[in-house]
């Protein structure tokens, strides 16, 4: 009987003989389990055919075939799981699935056919479900889970993830590996291998075939790569994949000393550069710039200057060219003199420049491109006066209103602390204004509204001497007697219910005043009078006409009133006794001011002086004016109206509201009545629809038709400044005005005396030194990212320029360059173009100087080689020496995975790669 060990060996040997070298024991077991499943399936098929042909019962051969087939499928799937790279947890889950499937098989053998499909207990669904669950576990682990989730890490092991050392997977640069192999007797032996990553690819490949092709290309070229054939230093010329030519200077050991500054369009250009280096490199001087220095150079027979810092950045350059070197030196000297004391001018959008002209001081608005936007209209006696005018203008300009010439507009403005308005017509004439002021903007707005709302339908009337006017306030009517200049001679003392009632009051006042006597009091007096209802009263009046006492009661007859009065008279024995038989005018004084009133024959006040007068004579004169105009005409003031009148020899108008308020008057007088009436008609046409604008100390007016312009006007409409440019349409001039007003508050005020540094922002912040004629004396050679950085550069230049020395770049010169990791050098020609750059870095300037000396020694004996194949290069990376494998185009195919302390170490590693890489095998890991 064979032992388990012999049986196991037999399985292994059969697998190795018929299949191949197994990677693990589960590959062997999986294979044989799969074969077993296939054999059981075959036996099940044969049993089905034999029993079916032998006439056995249907249930018998179905049962046998079903059990064998179910077992066969289960074993086949489990065998596949074992052959796949499945993790331990996957094997465990598969075993569980196989057991569940076998449970389903056993259940089928028990319940079929007595309790199968519509017989007995009918356990068809539970049995099939149990078996299907087991099969699903097996199938899911092997195929479905990786396919659905896209992950095979949970149950299926990643290929080679645990078998390959980190050096092969790119996770380490060196490591060890056990190599197992069969000896000549067929027994397994093993060795420990030291693995080290010597080189790495420069770029990744999208696919495995691409990577394999790149590796094959390196393997085929690396053995024949150059370097080993070099016996002296050499210039290596090569054409890049882009069709450009470059060169490198290498030592005899292949290490790169220098490379070209720029690529060349053709080989001739590269060879000329090498020839230049061979001619000039050995004798070129080393130049150094301490802080800053001026460089003068010739270009196309014209001379230029530039101010360089110690990093050879051009802080300043000449704005133009010069005919000779002496002229360039004079230009640089002039630049230094002007730059040191020049002011800094920084404009965001616009600036205000003060100018000294033959007419006096004036100013203008310019933008960042020095384009004149507007010029002042006036000249000033001194610079300070011009500056003060601008300082007052700029804050007002920021919120300046914008009006359009030719469009009727109510302009509302302040006069001191009060508000006024004026109406500007289509011809830019002021055609109306308010005669009175208002305390607030809202009040002045209301007056314009009242004028605009009533102007179209307003009547036109004239007052010859004086006229009675009946007018309504609310529901009550009143009357007044006004003169041509709107002075009120007399006014009603009480309201009336209608215009007719007011007219009746006027008639009564006329009758009473016509018969009225003038009562002038020398001393106090008693009056007895009959009231409206026929009752009698008395009152005591002092010498100023003031009522001191009143009867306070009504009496049936005159005698009763007199008797009651006499009781009080005993207390005022000197008072006169007056009996009122007719109406009377009374002159009286109140708080030092005189006035008059009309008392009818019943003692009732029917008219009074609407004003006050400083003297009795003035009050009496006003009373006489009433008497003189008693019989004048009367009109009803139900709506606002234009009143025309003559002042001197000219005609004028005023706009009167029903309550007598004058809200508008003409600006200019007319010579005839017809002219003033025509003017009123023109005002009707514009006043009702005119716009409204709130005017400050200054406002902007745009004007034009085909070509548009703008100007600044002050509160009195006096021109302050005029725009210098014209615009194609109204929108364009509006946009220009908006830009000007929005930038006004930040606009600097400046004057160019000798020179000024103008800071501008284009693609970056830069500056120009300009004089008063806008001649550029110098400009920045570099741009800054921000205003602050540009200002710092200017401050630095103010310090460096006066101390700057002079450097003369010969036909070729070496220049020490500071890098982030150390010092290097470059060779430049007389125009400052970089001819060659050092390929190495040094910790100090002494190391860079030593490299220059070595380069001088290498150049004369260096040969010129054209690279037509793959070659090695040694480089100093700053952290150590590295090697690279470059193709015929100078593109790096591979490089060392680490840097070496010494050049010989890097060379030895490179040699090892060159010797062993052509025969190296390719192994892919994921």
HSE-up (13 A, CA, CB side) for residue 217 = 16
Q: Which residue has the higher pLDDT, 804 or 3?
A: 804
**408 contacts 423 by C-beta, under 8 angstroms:** yes
- Residue 731 in tokens: 């929108």
The predicted structure's pLDDT at residue 453:
92
Backbone angles phi, psi at 192, to 5 degrees: -100, 125
| pLDDT exceeds cutoff 50 at 563 | yes
Per residue, the 3-state secondary structure of 583-611, as one string, reads CEEEEEEECCEEEEEEECCCCCEEEECCC
The predicted structure's pLDDT at residue 365:
92
Question: What pLDDT digit, counting tens, does each position of 647-690 carry?
Answer: 888 999 999 999 889 999 999 999 999 999 999 999 988 998 89
Q: Which residue has the higher pLDDT, 810 or 838?
A: 838
Beta-strand relationship, 719-723 and 343-346: unpaired
How high does pLDDT run on average in the chain? 80
Long-range contacts of 155-163 (CB under 8 A, 24+ apart): 155/86, 155/87, 155/89, 155/90, 155/93, 156/84, 156/85, 156/86, 156/87, 156/90, 157/85, 157/86, 157/87, 157/90, 158/85, 158/926, 159/85, 159/926, 160/925, 160/926, 161/926
Q: In angstroms, rounded to a whole number, what is the distance separating the alpha carbons of residues 379 and 361?
A: 5
Question: What pLDDT digit, counting tens, does each position of 273-311 carry?
Answer: 888 888 888 888 777 677 788 877 777 888 888 888 877
| pLDDT exceeds cutoff 70 at 627 | yes
Tell me the DSSP string of 793-847.
HHHHHHHHGGG-EEE---SEEEEEEE-SSSEEEEEEETT--EEEEES--BSSHHH
Question: What pLDDT digit, counting tens, does each position of 180-220 carry?
Answer: 656 666 665 666 665 666 677 766 665 566 666 677 767 66
Q: In angstroms, rounded to a whole number, what is the distance separating the alpha carbons of residues 566 and 560?
A: 10
The predicted structure's pLDDT at residue 446:
92
Beta-strand relationship, 459-462 and 641-647: parallel
0.75 exceeded by the pTM?
no
Least confidently predicted of 16-30, 380-394, 436-450, 656-670: 16-30
Residues in the chain: 926
Buried b or exposed e, range 188-219, using 16+ CB within 10 angstroms: eeeeeeeeebbbeeeeeeeeeeeeeebbeebe
Q: In angstroms, rounded to a whole number, what is the distance separating the alpha carbons of residues 901 and 86?
A: 46
Question: C-alpha 378: how far from its chain's center?
Answer: 39
Question: What pLDDT digit, counting tens, does each position of 873-888 carry?
Answer: 776 666 777 777 777 6
**pLDDT confidence tier of residue 807, bands split at 50, 70 and 90:** low
| pLDDT exceeds cutoff 60 at 161 | no
Q: Does residue 775 come out as left (phi exceeding 0), alpha (psi in the -120 to 50 range) or beta?
A: beta
Handedness of CA 621, 626, 627, 631 (dihedral sign): positive
Question: What pLDDT digit, counting tens, does each position of 74-96 carry?
Answer: 888 788 877 777 777 778 888 88
**607 contacts 599 by C-beta, under 8 angstroms:** no
Sheet bearing 525-530, strands edge to edge: 547-550, 536-541, 525-530, 576-579
Least confidently predicted of 93-97, 164-168, 309-313, 608-612: 164-168
As a whole number, mean pLDDT of residues 161-181 equals 61
Beta-strand relationship, 234-239 and 863-866: parallel
The predicted structure's pLDDT at residue 911:
79
The predicted structure's pLDDT at residue 185:
66
**pLDDT confidence tier of residue 858, bands split at 50, 70 and 90:** confident
As a whole number, mean pLDDT of residues 239-248 equals 84
Q: Which residue has the higher pLDDT, 905 or 700?
A: 700
Three-class SS state of 874: strand
Question: What pLDDT digit, counting tens, does each position of 254-264 carry?
Answer: 678 888 888 88
Handedness of CA 87, 93, 94, 95 (dihedral sign): positive
- Residue 551 in tokens: 């009867």
As a whole number, mean pLDDT of residues 9-38 equals 75
As a whole number, mean pLDDT of residues 483-499 equals 88
**217 contacts 230 by C-beta, under 8 angstroms:** no
Question: What pLDDT digit, counting tens, does each position of 340-379 carry?
Answer: 888 888 888 889 999 998 989 999 998 888 888 999 999 9
Question: What pLDDT digit, counting tens, does each position of 28-61 carry?
Answer: 777 788 888 788 877 777 777 777 666 666 667 6
Backbone angles phi, psi at 778, to 5 degrees: 180, 155
Q: How far is CA 582 from CA 200, 203, 527, 530, 603, in A?
A: 135, 128, 12, 10, 9
As a whole number, mean pLDDT of residues 384-396 equals 90
Nearest to 830 by CA among 815, 814, 810: 810
The predicted structure's pLDDT at residue 380:
92
Q: Which residue has the higher pLDDT, 121 or 334?
A: 334
**823 contacts 240 by C-beta, under 8 angstroms:** no
| pLDDT exceeds cutoff 70 at 575 | no
What is the share, in percent, of the chain residues with pLDDT greater than 90? Answer: 16
């Amino acid at each position: 009987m064979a032992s388990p060990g012999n049986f196991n060996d037999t399985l292994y040997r059969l697998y190795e003989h018929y299949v191949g070298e197994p990677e693990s024991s589960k590959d062997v077991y999986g294979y044989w389990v799969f074969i077993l499943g296939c054999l059981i399936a075959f036996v099940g098929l044969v049993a089905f055919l034999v029993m079916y042909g032998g006439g056995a019962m249907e249930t018998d051969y179905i049962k046998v075939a079903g059990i064998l087939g179910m077992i066969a499928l289960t074993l086949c799937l489990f065998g596949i799981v074992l052959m796949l790279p499945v993790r331990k947890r996957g094997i465990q889950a598969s075993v569980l699935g196989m057991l569940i499937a076998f449970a389903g098989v056993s259940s089928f053998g028990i319940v079929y056919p007595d309790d199968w499909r519509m017989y007995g207990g009918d356990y068809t669904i539970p049995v099939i479900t149990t078996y299907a669950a087991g099969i699903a576990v097996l199938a899911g682990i092997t195929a479905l889970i990786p396919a659905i989730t896209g992950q095979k890490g949970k149950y299926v092991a990643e290929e080679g993830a645990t078998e390959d050392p980190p050096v092969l997977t790119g996770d380490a640069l060196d490591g060890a590996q056990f190599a197992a192999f069969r000896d000549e007797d067929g027994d397994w032996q093993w060795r420990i291998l030291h693995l080290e990553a010597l080189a790495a690819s420069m770029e990744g490949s999208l696919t495995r075939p691409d990577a394999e092709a790149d590796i094959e290309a390196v393997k085929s070229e690396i053995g024949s790569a150059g370097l080993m054939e070099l016996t002296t230093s050499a210039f290596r010329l090569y054409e890049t994949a882009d069709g450009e030519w470059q060169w490198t200077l290498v030592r005899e050991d292949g290490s790169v000393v220098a490379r070209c500054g720029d690529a060349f369009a053709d080989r001739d250009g590269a060879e000329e550069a090498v020839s230049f280096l061979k001619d000039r490199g050995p004798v070129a001087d080393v130049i150094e710039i301490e802080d800053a220095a001026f460089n003068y150079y010739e270009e196309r027979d014209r001379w230029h200057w530039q101010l360089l810092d110690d990093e050879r950045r051009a802080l300043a350059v000449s704005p133009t060219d010069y005919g000779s070197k002496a002229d360039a030196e004079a230009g640089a000297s002039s630049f230094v003199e002007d730059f040191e004391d020049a002011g800094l001018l920084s404009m965001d959008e616009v600036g205000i420049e003060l100018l000294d002209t033959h007419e006096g001081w004036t100013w203008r608005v310019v933008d960042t491109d020095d384009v004149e936007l507007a010029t002042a209209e006036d000249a000033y006696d001194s610079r300070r006066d011009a500056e003060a005018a601008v300082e007052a203008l700029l804050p007002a300009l920021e919120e300046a209103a914008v009006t359009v010439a030719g469009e009727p507009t109510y302009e509302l403005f302040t006069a001191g602390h009060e508000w006024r308005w004026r109406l500007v017509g289509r011809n830019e004439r002021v055609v109306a204004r308010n005669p009175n002021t208002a305390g607030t903007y809202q009040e002045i707005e209301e007056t314009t509204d009242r004028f605009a709302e009533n102007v179209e339908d307003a009547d036109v009337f004239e007052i010859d001497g004086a006229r009675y006017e009946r007018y309504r306030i609310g529901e009550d009517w009143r009357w007044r007697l006004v003169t041509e200049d709107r002075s009120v001679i007399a006014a009603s003392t009480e309201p009336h219910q209608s215009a007719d009632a007011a007219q009746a009051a006027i008639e009564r006042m006329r009758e009473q005043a016509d018969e009225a006597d003038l009562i002038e009091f020398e001393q106090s007096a008693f009056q007895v009078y009959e009231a409206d209802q026929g009752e009698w009263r008395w009152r005591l009046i002092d010498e100023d006409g003031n009522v001191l006492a009143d009867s306070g009661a009504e009496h049936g007859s005159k005698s009763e009133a007199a008797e009651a009065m006499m009781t009080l008279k005993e207390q005022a024995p000197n008072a006169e006794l007056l009996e009122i038989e007719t109406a009377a005018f009374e002159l009286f004084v109140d708080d030092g001011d005189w006035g008059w009133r009309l008392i009818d024959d019943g003692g009732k006040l029917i008219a009074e002086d609407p004003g006050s007068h400083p003297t009795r004579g003035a009050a009496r004169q006003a009373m006489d004016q009433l008497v003189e105009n008693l019989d004048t005409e009367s009109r009803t003031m139900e709506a606002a109206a234009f009143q025309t009148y003559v002042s001197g020899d000219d005609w004028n108008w005023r706009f009167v509201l029903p309550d007598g308020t004058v809200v508008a008057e003409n600006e200019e007088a007319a010579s005839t009545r017809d002219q003033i009436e025509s003017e009123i008609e023109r005002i009707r046409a514009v006043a009702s629809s005119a716009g409204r604008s709130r005017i400050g100390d200054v406002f902007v007016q745009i004007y034009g038709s085909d070509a548009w312009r703008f100007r600044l006007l002050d509160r009195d409409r006096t021109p302050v400044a005029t725009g210098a440019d014209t615009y194609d349409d109204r929108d364009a001039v509006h946009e220009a005005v908006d830009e000007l007003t929005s930038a006004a508050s930040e606009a600097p005020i400046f004057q160019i005396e000798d020179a000024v540094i103008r800071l501008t922002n284009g693609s970056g912040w830069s500056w120009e030194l300009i004089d008063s004629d806008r001649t550029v004396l110098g400009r920045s050679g570099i741009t800054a990212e921000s205003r602050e950085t540009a200002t710092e550069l200017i401050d630095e230049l103010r310090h460096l320029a006066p101390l700057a020395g002079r450097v003369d770049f010969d036909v070729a010169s070496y220049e020490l360059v500071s890098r982030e990791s150390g010092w290097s050098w470059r060779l430049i020609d007389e125009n400052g173009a970089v001819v060659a750059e050092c390929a190495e870095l040094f910790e100090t300037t002494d190391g860079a100087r030593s490299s220059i000396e070595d380069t001088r020694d290498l150049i004369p004996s260096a040969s010129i080689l054209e690279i037509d194949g793959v070659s090695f290069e040694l480089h100093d990376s700053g952290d150590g020496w590295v090697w690279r494998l470059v193709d015929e185009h100078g593109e790096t195919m591979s490089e060392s995975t680490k840097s070496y302390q010494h050049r010989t170490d890097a060379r030895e590693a490179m040699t090892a790669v060159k010797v062993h890489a052509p025969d190296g095998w390719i192994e892919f890991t994921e």
